[in-house]
A and B are shown apart, each in its own frame.
Chain A
């Protein structure tokens, strides 16, 4: 038997509390007999549940026809034997074949439905990816890059490494890294098709090589474990309602001895002079607004705790302030205009904020812009950078 044969390739389990049977990994048996214990577990689960059984295959990366037939046979038989029972198969849009393959079952038995669990994922994504936000994202990266290009080498960035940029957005950070540091390979992953299309177009137009843009879910990636020297994840833990799930995945794909690099904000610390009070009030309200949508834009200083709790060591934390003095103050002002449009616009409206609140809320952004463009003014946007090493 080779070491390859000893690797656990898949896992089946049943969660009685959630009435959920889940199967994950690579399931490629020679015959259905090889699946004996898993099949028995599914049969047992069907015998125990009432109402609905969830069949979770969102982390199922491969399943051959022998296995698919074995499992689907049991589900189809159960539909016929127990018309009271419904099956909900939970797939992931990231694994290209699962929704289509399991979707066939719902065409055979109406009591089987298939749901892509991540189709309405990432609460913040909808606000940020549509509506012409791309130019602002580019401007933001341009402003933060002035700082990060000097910071990154202290967190494991060096030429020739294999790196991943998770939640890469429109891919501009990956491009800047490629030009500046020449890693041997960059895998850039995001859950927004819109952003990835943009990133690929830029790559084609500028004939950039060495970056692989891939569609994926940061909390459950198809990427193999322990393959990257450096994993970056910028401004994303803060807009995910369970950042610890993403960190667990970042840890998994990072090589032992490699580092995971994260950046996050503490929005309430945005500042400006003059009109500091109004600015401060508005950004405190920004934090509350995001919290309403289960996003923590105050996460920056909590990075150390998150990294430690995820199992990293040698934690390094620093912060920098993007200001109106970095390059063109108008860039800073443009970013604030975009924030104002989204936060005091769609997000405030969706929370149900009244006109009086929205007016005061907008005023803080106006004052921040005023400070940024004022000949004697100063406006800042603080960012926290943190990285941790995966133990050997």
Chain B
């Protein structure tokens, strides 16, 4: 596996660390796959962080939420690919999963809203609200509490790729 290249100007090179591929049918056959995959990947990539145990705990927490988002895909075929790469203090999660057209639109909009100035207020309002947390709230929380940044890319087939940068190394309690 070579370095992850993106076409954005000025984008640093992220070095690949680990990738897990699963058929989406197998992935959604058990809810605990989210927990299992996030815990495993977090441990693998955190060994050389300044505080491996703390980093692993935080990374697992963030990745699990993203995997739970992918778990709820309404598309029955294709593959899930979860790839982690690193540039300095930032770890990048690239989560590729099949997606129906309506959801594709949803993710585009959700990611643009997460980047907005009101992200914090929107997140707080969701915590105090009655509704169970939506996929958008999950992304908002990662942006507000983990300083995550997002973008969505088209992927092969009916898939999209959520690209999430997590600067956990510098995150204070």
Nearest CB in chain A to that of B36: its residue: A4
Q: Does A360 contact B (CB under 8 A)?
A: no
Given that A100-B173, A212-B47 are contacting pairs, would A105 and B57 also be in contact in the complex, using a CB cutoff of 8 Å? Answer: no
> Smallest Cβ distance from B113 to chain A, in angstroms?
17
Q: Does B54 contact A (CB under 8 A)?
A: yes
The answer to whether A214 touches B51, judged by C-beta atoms less than 8 angstroms apart, is yes
Q: Which residues of A contact B11 (CB under 8 A)?
A: none
Which B residues from 13 to 33 make CB contacts under 8 A with A? 30-32
Which A residues from 163 to 180 make CB contacts under 8 A with B? none
Chain B interface residue count, Cβ-Cβ cutoff 8 angstroms: 33
Nearest CB in chain A to that of B168: its residue: A96
The answer to whether B53 touches A222, judged by C-beta atoms less than 8 angstroms apart, is yes
Q: Which residues of B contact A94 (CB under 8 A)?
A: 54
> Smallest Cβ distance from A173 to chain B, in angstroms?
18
- Stretch of A25-33, A285-293, A295-303, A325-333 contacting B (4+ beta carbons < 8 Å): A25-33
- In whole angstroms, how far apart are the Cα atoms of A223 and B51 in the complex? 12
> Smallest Cβ distance from B63 to chain A, in angstroms?
11
Given that A65-B65, A95-B57, A100-B145 are contacting pairs, would A26 and B137 also be in contact in the complex, using a CB cutoff of 8 Å? Answer: no
The answer to whether B53 touches A212, judged by C-beta atoms less than 8 angstroms apart, is yes
> Smallest Cβ distance from B123 to chain A, in angstroms?
8
Q: Which residues of A contact B132 (CB under 8 A)?
A: 31-32, 66, 69-70
Nearest CB in chain A to that of B131: its residue: A69
Q: Does B100 contact A (CB under 8 A)?
A: no
Contact with B along A169-204 (1 / 0, CB 8 A): 000000000000000000101000000100010000
Q: Does A76 contact B (CB under 8 A)?
A: yes
The answer to whether B32 touches A4, judged by C-beta atoms less than 8 angstroms apart, is yes
Given that A69-B133, A96-B57 are contacting pairs, would A105 and B127 also be in contact in the complex, using a CB cutoff of 8 Å? Answer: yes
Q: Which residues of A contact B149 (CB under 8 A)?
A: none
Which residue of B50, B64, B127, B138 is within 8 Å of A104 (Cβ)? B127
In the complex, the number of residue pairs spanning A and B with C-beta atoms less than 8 Å apart equals: 92
The answer to whether A28 touches B34, judged by C-beta atoms less than 8 angstroms apart, is yes
Q: Does B61 contact A (CB under 8 A)?
A: yes
- In whole angstroms, how far apart are the Cα atoms of A374 and B35 in the complex? 64
The answer to whether A65 touches B133, judged by C-beta atoms less than 8 angstroms apart, is yes
The answer to whether B127 touches A72, judged by C-beta atoms less than 8 angstroms apart, is yes
Contact with B along A209-237 (1 / 0, CB 8 A): 00011111000001100000000000000
Q: Does A340 contact B (CB under 8 A)?
A: no
Q: Which residues of B contact A213 (CB under 8 A)?
A: 50-51
Which B residues from 138 to 173 make CB contacts under 8 A with A? 138, 141, 145-146, 171, 173
Q: Does A61 contact B (CB under 8 A)?
A: yes
> Smallest Cβ distance from B96 to chain A, in angstroms?
21
- In whole angstroms, how far apart are the Cα atoms of A116 and B173 in the complex? 10
The answer to whether A107 touches B54, judged by C-beta atoms less than 8 angstroms apart, is no
Q: Does A125 contact B (CB under 8 A)?
A: no
Q: Does A93 contact B (CB under 8 A)?
A: yes
Q: Does B115 contact A (CB under 8 A)?
A: no
Nearest CB in chain A to that of B134: its residue: A65
Q: Does B124 contact A (CB under 8 A)?
A: yes
Listed by A's residue number, 14 A-B pairs whose Cβ atoms lie within 8 Å are: A30-B31, A31-B132, A62-B61, A65-B68, A66-B133, A70-B132, A76-B128, A97-B57, A100-B145, A104-B127, A116-B173, A187-B53, A212-B53, A215-B51
**Known A65-B68, A108-B128; 9 more pairs at CB < 8 Å:** A28-B64, A96-B54, A96-B171, A100-B173, A196-B51, A212-B47, A213-B51, A214-B51, A222-B53
Which 8 A/B pairs are nearest by Cβ-Cβ distance? Answer: A214-B53, A65-B133, A30-B31, A212-B52, A108-B128, A96-B58, A28-B35, A214-B51
Which A residues form the contact surface with B (CB < 8 A)? 2, 4-5, 9, 26, 28-32, 61-62, 64-66, 68-70, 72-73, 76, 93-97, 99-101, 104-105, 107-108, 116, 187, 189, 196, 200, 212-216, 222-223
